[in-house]
Amino acid sequence: MSTSHPPALTVEDTATSELKAATAPAVPASPGPLFDFPDHASTLLRSCVHCGLCLGACPTYREEGNENDSPRGRLYIMKSLASGTLQPTPDVVGHLDLCLDCRACETACPSGVQYGQILENAREALQPVMPQSVVERALRAVFFKQILPRPEILSLICSALRFQQTSGLRKFAQSLGLMKLLPKRLRELEALQPELKEPAFLENAPDIFPADGPVTKKRVAFFAGCVMDRFMGDIHRATIKVLQAHGVEVLTVKGQQCCGALMVHSGAADDARKLARKNLEIFHGLKIDAIVNNSAGCGAQLKEYKHLLHGEHHADEFSALVKDVSEVLAGLTPVRPIKPLEKTLCYDEPCHLLHAQKISAQPKALIQSIPGLKWIPLPDAEFCCGAAGIYNLTQPEMAAKILQRKIEAIAGTKAELVATGNPGCLMQIRNGCKAAGLSCEVLHPMELLARQL
């Protein structure tokens, strides 16, 4: 599904004129800059030539047709906020908040503008000057300073959710229609919880998973993450099984922390830096070929520790070691044959795998190595599904619009299986397919491969 866009104009002709007209009467210009971008981010900002090739790649511009909700429009807004010619009113900052940070614009950009870094720098810089309610500040403090950095809190939440699922309480409440009594937003949040069929992975895992076969081809350390480790431990176990079957020895590395991606995307980069430094310390000195992960969002963040911890000791070394599981498996032959699977499948490209890490061919090749599997191309597979970290929680209306396009594309393929390699995408697409009455099964590529080994 392609979207046409107007001819390339200067940003002054499009986003800026509209935004200034809307804000100038009520918002006087600042006497000085609101914040300073880091030197490297200022250099990145200047690389945009306003050609407009990013417009057709942007999910929010595709939905709204508003230049202010396009990458080049947002770049101008960020520059204007930094200089003080715009103030961080809710209307102005709302255009930045509506961005998914999917980074599809980076793939489309001929000038190599690293939009994700610029946006994240701006969100961090805006935090001290943005108006926030007491409730919003309290929620951010609880989520970023208590829940994500503390595995024991996440474990308690996971245990509570698992109990209400496995005990039958959830089904009982649904059968009585009690969910309908909840406000619409709470019903939507309740529906997003994943099915917790398996226990967490890392806390019960051995220190080493030996490679199958007579020869160890690679030795890697496994990054389990936080939410995914506790809510999707079955995917981690499937990943380990696939790695072992390809002759890879896996170290589990206890004590590792959240990667910090959700914090960075939300402007809480200082909280992410604390976790990143702990991860550098924990993984430093291991005699390994790679730090492997199976989450597109985590992998992209781990690879960008060199930017998050710019110039700090071992940050570049750590980022260079990080590999998606499909990168580690590329070129390796399993020690036993892959069983055939006579089904149809379409593949959705996770944004932070395709656009941030520039990985597309490797996971496709692994899936297509399964004998008998019929590959069906998914239209607009490169477009975001609307999950985008916690975007589907903070921007539910836009997330729903974007998801609807994705579900319509999946329905059109009539595929029996849908594969995608990011936990947020898995939950978003699973819920969307269920709501649409589709019978397809949504899987991580590692789950699919593990079944056939």
pLDDT in tens, 39-55: 767 777 788 888 999 99
* pLDDT of residue 393 exceeding 60: yes
3-state secondary structure of 436: coil
As a whole number, the mean pLDDT across the chain is 88
What are the tens digits of pLDDT across the range 144-166?
Answer: 888 888 888 888 888 888 888 88
β pairing state of 248-251 and 208-209: antiparallel
What pLDDT does 7 receive?
36
CA dist., res. 21 & res. 92, Å (int) = 12
CB distance 361 to 445 below 8 Å: no
Q: Is the pLDDT of residue 1 over 70?
A: no
- Give the residue, 303 or 31, on which the prediction is more confident: 303
Q: How confident is the model at residue 198 (pLDDT cuts 50, 70, 90)?
A: confident
Q: What is the pLDDT of residue 33?
A: 73
| 239-253 confidence digits (pLDDT tens) | 999 999 999 999 999
Asked if 242 and 201 touch (Cβ cutoff 8 Å), the reply is: no
Query: Does residue 234 register a pLDDT over 70?
Result: yes
Average pLDDT for 337-359: 97
**What mean pLDDT is predicted for residues 86-112?**
94
Element of type H or E holding 318: helix 315-321
- What is the pTM (predicted TM-score) of this model? 0.88
Residues with Cβ < 8 Å from 104, sequence gap 6 or more?
A: 54, 57, 58, 59, 351, 355, 382, 383, 384
Place of tokens 């589709």: 438
Q: How many CA atoms lie within 13 A of 209 on its CB side?
A: 26
How far is 80 from 104, CA to CA, in rounded Å?
Answer: 23
CA dihedral 95, 142, 146, 96 (to 10 degrees): 0
Q: Given this model, what pLDDT does residue 185 score?
A: 63
Closest CA to 154 of 266, 209, 233, 265: 233
> 186: pLDDT confidence band, cut at 50, 70 and 90?
low
